[in-house]
Amino acid sequence: MKLSRRDGTALVSKPPKDKLGLLLYGSDSMRVALKRQEYLKALLGPAAEEEMRLTRIPAGDLRREPALLMDGIKAIGFFPGPRAAFVEGANELVAQIIIDTIKDWQPGDAQIVVSAGDLKKTSKILKAFEGHSNAYAWGIFDDPPDRAEIERLLQAAELRTDAASMGALEELARNLDPGDFRQTLEKLSLYKLSEPNTNVSLEDITACAPVSVEAGVDDILNIVAEKKSTEIGPLMRRLQSQGVNAVTLSIMAMRHFRTLHRVACNPGAPIYGVRDRDRVSRQSRDWGLHKLEVALGILTDTDLLLRSAGQTAPALAIIERTFIRLAMYGASRS
């Protein structure tokens, strides 16, 4: 059975214990891992590994020893409670092993939990879970957590918010990777230990939020945002020598210009997840809302080009050309 985001969130927070199992897949391994961790903890409880009710099977080990998964779902442990066999990093090389095990699964066996990368619609593993009436498949995409999920995370962290702090946390969730956002909530929870019955304030969030995500590319992003086109080439050579790839630069540039766009849409609103808030505010004012919308369109087209299978030009040359184009466009009077 294929799950929507809402149904997937509900299932992960309260897993049914009588089902065959769950496939979690997506291109962002961190997001998939966090959902898998959350699901297994809710299904088995916090002491599952110590009580040997969870069997972990890397896909490479399963390929070498196909019986591992069948043994994992049939084994009866010494401790009572639900059990699961978890296959990590599954791919088409172990698809048939998983499918054959699914066919032999019986009520009372351990649940089969599988994590995978970005699967095609033709994937045998995906078809097996989506087509089974007693199993689930949920694709985890790169969307930031919605308000309902943030509220659930806040409840788990025993944090209270008001309208202003909730808005700030929603903005922070859009700017941070999911692991960084959860770490921020954990830090907030510790920060508020001495004030358990008070709302999280904007000052609390400012104190706990990370100053930047992948700060190593901040220099090139600021040069582009400040329209210094002549400085882009030399800095790109330095970044290339440091091993920074084009897709990372594209993602971070999109994130930076989205932040500028949000600031332009909401002048005076708090800014989180950046190193220099005054600088970001100044960049946003200099560009203006219309130019920032055009810039986001240019960056989206570049990102699609970089990910295109038919793209043959050097990726770093493509992103460098885009950065120069953006800087020159930002400096124009149009």
Q: What is the mean pLDDT of residues 312-333?
A: 91
Same domain (yes/no): 56, 84: yes
Among the three residues 208, 238, 255, which one is the final residue of a domain in this structure? 208
Same domain (yes/no): 197, 273: no
Q: What's the rounded Cα separation, in Å, for the pair 331 and 334?
A: 9
Same domain (yes/no): 220, 175: no
Same domain (yes/no): 151, 115: no
Q: What is the pLDDT of residues 57-94, one digit of tens each?
A: 999 999 999 999 999 999 887 888 999 999 999 999 99
Q: State phi, psi for 25 to the nearest 5 degrees.
A: -145, 160
Per this entry, what is the length of the chain? 334
3-class DSSP state of 58:
strand
Query: Are 115 and 88 spatial neighbours (Cβ–Cβ below 8 Å)?
Result: yes
Same domain (yes/no): 29, 67: yes
Range of the domain at 271: 215-331
Contacts of 209 (CB under 8 A, 6+ apart): 172, 184, 272, 273
Number of domains in the chain: 3
Q: What is the pLDDT of residues 32-51, one digit of tens each?
A: 888 999 999 999 998 898 89
Same domain (yes/no): 133, 11: yes
Q: What's the rounded Cα separation, in Å, for the pair 154 and 137?
A: 26
Let me know the angle formed at the C-alpha of 75 by 71 and 77, rounded to the nearest 5 degrees: 150
Same domain (yes/no): 122, 52: yes
Same domain (yes/no): 223, 325: yes
Contacts of 268 (CB under 8 A, 6+ apart): none
Same domain (yes/no): 204, 220: no
Q: What is the pLDDT of residues 160-173, one digit of tens each?
A: 998 888 888 887 88
Compute CA 322 distance to the chain's CA centroid, rounded to the nearest angstrom.
Answer: 25
Identify the CATH number of the domain in which residue 310 sits.
Answer: 1.20.272.10
Q: Is pLDDT of 204 > 90?
A: no
Compute CA 295 distance to the chain's CA centroid, rounded to the nearest angstrom.
Answer: 24
Please, what is the angle between helix 315-331 and helix 232-241, to 10°? 150
Among the three residues 139, 161, 176, which one is the final residue of a domain in this structure? 139
Same domain (yes/no): 76, 202: no
Q: What's the rounded Cα separation, in Å, for the pair 267 and 281?
A: 8
Contacts of 26 (CB under 8 A, 6+ apart): 32, 117, 118, 139, 140, 141, 142
Q: Is pLDDT of 211 > 70?
A: no
Please name which of 123, 73, 82 lies closest in space to residue 103, comparing C-alpha atoms: 73
Same domain (yes/no): 173, 224: no
Please name the residue that has the structure tokens 């990093």. Answer: 89
Among the three residues 139, 165, 190, which one is the final residue of a domain in this structure? 139
Q: Is pLDDT of 114 > 80?
A: yes
Q: What percent of the chain is predicted at pLDDT more than 70?
A: 94
Same domain (yes/no): 133, 154: no
**pLDDT interval class at 95 (50, 70, 90):** very high
Higher pLDDT: 297 or 171? It is: 297
Identify the CATH number of the domain in which residue 107 sits.
Answer: 3.40.50.300
> How would you class 152 by CB atoms within 10 Å of its CB: exposed for 0-12, middle for 13-18, buried for 19 or more?
middle
